[in-house]
Structure 1
Amino acid sequence: MAKIYLEAGRVVDDVLSGRSGLKAALYAQQLSSDPRAVCKLSSCTLSNKAAIAEALEHVGLDHHSHGMMLVMAYELLLGHGLRGGGKLRRELEGHATELQTAFKKSSQHSEVLSEQREAFSSLPRYVRVNRLQLAEDLEVLRRRLTKALRRAAGSEPKHAEATRVELDAVVPNVLRLPAASRRWLRELPEVESGALVLQDRSSCLSALAAGLVPGSFVLDSCAAPGSKTAHAIELLQARGRLAAFERDPKRAAALLKRLRLLVGFAEKSPRRKGRYGPEAKSEVSVLKWGSQIRGRCWAGGATGAEGVEVDVHVGDFLDTNPALPPWNQVDVLIVDPSCSGSGLPEHHLIDATAETGTSRRVQRLAAFQKRILSHALSFPKAKTVVYSTCSTLRLENEDVVEEVLCRYPGFEVVEALPWWQNAPLKPATGKPLPSWAKNCLRSDPVTHKCRGFFLCRLDRLDHLAHGPGDSDPPPEQSRRKRKRRLTTSAPRTEEIQIPSKDKAKAFLAVPKAKKGSGLRILRRLAKKQLVGLSALQSLLKKKS
């Protein structure tokens, strides 16, 4: 049996069970096949899942491993034909004619070309220009890339339209290409070196909306795979600090690899303390929970003390204590938590009605999103918090912000990017949207020709230095100052009860015991009646 069918089948099973989305399911698998091939096969299978399942049920082949059967049926009906598969292959090929007929007659198959699905299937490819590596003028770069793509695609006339490169009219430093150009894009040297970043235009909005300025301390709560994090580092212009959190060690390793490629991340050398640079780079062979990788980003020609200081934490952002350093100095937080992915192409290709506000998975995700946004707003020096999801569901977007804002009235929703024009809002079926909802940013695949996306920028009110109940933590004093204060301040006293010979109780005020003072021993002796009152008084006089 071809191993790729087995691995793609496991991914499909994970997605259909509701345990995870497509991306998370791919990361969770130990793949021996090409990950891109597994991703493509799984996504294409899920896009036609309803029609394939109905055809399998019609011919009586729905009793096998569900995910793997769907994958192999897709490969037989719409793919390149089966390459291995043992008993399942023989059964599928034995019913090939019946499956083809049932698939074409499937009622679900006629709905594939809906407006939204058609929009997703023809989405352009977007490329962000990494200004840390490319300072070239956009128009000059556009012409040069057009020529390079035409050389890679060949001289056939049918490829001329697929290699057209345009400047994005809305998002700065972004190029737009036809969907068919994807097969040649990855072969460009600029893409391999990280000078051009394959990133959807909606994904570029988070860092832009944060309003980053050089010298800021930025925290990215859910950083992997790293394109948004690298964009934020670029906007800091070689001055500032960024902390990136990722729970999963595998995704954290992918994040580090991405940062090295895009922004020149160099780890702090473990051998020569305080030294950075290319010689300090070392591959992180094993990352585990609690690992912290510190370094600087040197892309863009930063030298000396310049460069953005970057800390990558393999752990949970919710475990941080905002009252303690360094977290009590964070200026900006970028919060892009796990979501249902209802704005992604693979979600809508699976089933546009699969995830609704009543889905248990979406409700669990919304509860998690409220926790992580509440935690972000509790940072005492945070001036801006950017909350975003790749979901189009109100339960994960406006409802999350509305509930959290009730607990943190020290923040308000402001207009993040005035130049972005939202698509007209659909009439609310339940309660009306809050008045601040007009300031939120939404992208729609039909209107904006990109993935579905939601973004909300929350700024701290000017007249409130802190959120409700927040206060500056007391300044931490050094050990030397703390010891000096204890030796110069008046000693605190406490009473020791000692029974005398006439069984009456006498009380003696004794300085409260301190470690290493010797008074602790005297106290214990007195309490055990091994030292009388007069003897203790004389000992104390000698001690003083």
Structure 2
Amino acid sequence: MSQFTHSVKVPTQYKVTAKILKAAIEKQKSIKSLIFEEKHARVRSLQAVLKHYSDNRGAIDSAIEETGLLKDNPNLDSALAKVLVTELIFGRGQLNGESRPVQTVRLYKDRLQEVIKGAGFEKKEPNPRYVRINTNLLSIADALEYLAGEEWRRKELDPDISYADFLAAVRTLEEDEFIVDLNVEGVLIFHHKSRNFWACHDFVFSKKFILQNKATCLAAELLAPPPGSTVLDMCAAPGMKTLHICNVMQNQGRIYAVEQARDRYKALCDITEEAGCQIVTPMIADVLTIGPQQCPDVEYILVDPSCSGNGMQGRISVCDEQKDDKRLFKLAGLQIKILCHAMKSFPNVKRIVYCTCSLWKEENEQVVQRCLQLNPSFKMLNGKKALRNKWQNVGDKEYAKIGKNCLYCLPDHDLTDGIFLAMFERISEDDQN
């Protein structure tokens, strides 16, 4: 190693990323909050490297161990090694600068790749980029015309295509192609490499296009309030689903959007105003104190409460996520309270959609089961049928009459975030009798 120049410093970006990774591993701190604290760092670059490490942690750690990178170079910081290997093998494919750690890792590139390939590890490709048209500000026809003018090619599909064939078409998208979604009107699907294009697009900043994962769009699709309806969004911030409900209602009717936290309430107010939502009434309140006096004539309710969030693919985790039964018990208790409040307190409600970004049954099927036991005036609707049977993943069928009616979005299968959805309808008095 004597040929290395000792005086050349490691690029700041690598040092800062390694510092964050080390704190996250040793102190069990949130990577999101650690990145936020780095005021002067290029946040997008930090997130990209740490997300690559999160997605491929097993392969990276094994390759470092198998090649003897740290054993042969005891002065090489472990966290920095992980960052450099991540960038070299799973990120940009090259390293900046001529510092000693950078040159050391470059020397191991071929061996690292051999170990990863030999162990059967493959780079995890990100899911596609979903872009939803905000029809308050831009019609679907005008959006498609604009994209054609920007030389995006629309991949045409058979109107009767199966869901399995649709997913196959999404997986084989070319970088300059997009597909109109099969399940949700106004959702367009692009190759994952288009992310940088959309991140800086004028139409995104002006809220004509909304960067919203398809899975979260299913909530408004299932709620399906017609124009002129009165809707209550019980846990509304940051407002993406509120905006989508407004689009479904063609900006006609009324949406009461409730949020308890002041900073999130401001975000809700900002996005609904910027996105041209004329029918939204933002409210800062504890939703459990809200009833028909504050929100009269409510017919449709979206219940999207706080949850563990373990289905969200944007999360960055550098440690094995352990199931926290105590936390799930507390979350489920709150979720049951809110969903039961929706069922009990609004006499005119026709349909309720319950949604979480969790894949744990404690927050999903078990919450649904308990709320139906406590509220026999409601029944479940079949979510798969509501999507014209163009869906595959449903709930656990061990929950009789519940599991088959719920929907799951599973990241590796549906190419979306992990989301759970359940639909409820009030039973008429005649049916109850």
* Cα offsets for 1:127-183 (capped at 9, x unmatched): 22211112352xx643530331559xxxxxxxx931223322332122222222223
SS in 2 for 1:165: strand
* Cα offsets for 1:264-304 (capped at 9, x unmatched): xxxxxxxxxxxxxxxxxxxxxxxxxxxxxxxxx3xxxxxxx
Contact 2:131 2:209 in 1 (8 A): yes
2:95 to 81, 98, 106: 81
Equivalent positions of 1:366-405 (< 5 A) are 366-381=332-347, 382-405=349-372
Distance across 2 between alignment mates of 1:37 and 1:245: 34
* Cα offsets for 1:388-431 (capped at 9, x unmatched): 12233333221221122222222211134242533155986xxx
Structure 1 residues 411, 43: CA separation in 2 closer, same or farther (over 3 Å shift)? same
2:340 maps to amino acid: S
Contact 2:237 2:267 in 1 (8 A): yes
Match of 1:332 in 2: 300
2:105 to 96, 103, 124: 96
Structure 1 residues 198, 95: CA separation in 2 closer, same or farther (over 3 Å shift)? same
1:421 to 387, 390, 402: 390
Equivalent positions of 1:340-489 (< 5 A) are 340-346=308-314, 354=321, 361-381=327-347, 382-416=349-383, 417-423=386-392, 432-463=398-429
Contact 2:23 2:29 in 1 (8 A): no
How far did residue 197 of structure 1 move? 1.6
* Cα offsets for 1:43-83 (capped at 9, x unmatched): 12211223434456652599999877744553465445367
Distance across 2 between alignment mates of 1:64 and 1:247: 47
Contact 1:343 1:392 in 2 (8 A): yes
Structure 1 residues 238, 150: CA separation in 2 closer, same or farther (over 3 Å shift)? closer
Is 1:123 matched with 2:131? Answer: no
Contact 2:232 2:257 in 1 (8 A): yes
Distance across 2 between alignment mates of 1:15 and 1:312: 39
How far did residue 256 of structure 1 move? 3.3
* Greater Cα shift, 240-249 or 171-180: 240-249
2:138 maps to amino acid: L
Equivalent positions of 1:158-307 (< 5 A) are 161-263=174-276, 297=277, 307=278
Match of 1:2 in 2: 12
SS in 1 for 2:50: helix
SS in 1 for 2:352: strand
Contact 1:207 1:232 in 2 (8 A): yes
Structure 1 residues 242, 181: CA separation in 2 closer, same or farther (over 3 Å shift)? same
Contact 1:342 1:355 in 2 (8 A): no
Match of 2:138 in 1: 134
TM-score for both structures, normalised by structure 2: 0.73
2:54 to 46, 49, 52: 46
2:402 maps to amino acid: W
* Greater Cα shift, 442-451 or 410-419: 442-451
TM-score for both structures, normalised by structure 1: 0.60
Match of 2:162 in 1: none
How far did residue 202 of structure 1 move? 1.8
1:219 maps to amino acid: L
Contact 1:330 1:379 in 2 (8 A): no
Distance across 2 between alignment mates of 1:8 and 1:365: 33
SS in 2 for 1:127: strand
SS in 2 for 1:409: coil
1:380 maps to amino acid: F
Contact 1:51 1:109 in 2 (8 A): no
Distance across 1 between alignment mates of 2:29 and 2:368: 25
Distance across 1 between alignment mates of 2:39 and 2:268: 18
How far did residue 230 of structure 1 move? 0.8
How far did residue 371 of structure 1 move? 3.7
Distance across 1 between alignment mates of 2:290 and 2:328: 27
Structure 1 residues 261, 64: CA separation in 2 closer, same or farther (over 3 Å shift)? farther
Match of 2:158 in 1: none
Structure with the greater alpha carbon radius of gyration:
1
SS in 2 for 1:435: coil
Identity %: 26
How far did residue 218 of structure 1 move? 2.5
Unaligned runs of 5+ in 1: 152-159, 264-296, 298-306, 467-544
Structure 1 residues 30, 461: CA separation in 2 closer, same or farther (over 3 Å shift)? farther
1:308 to 279, 296, 301: 279
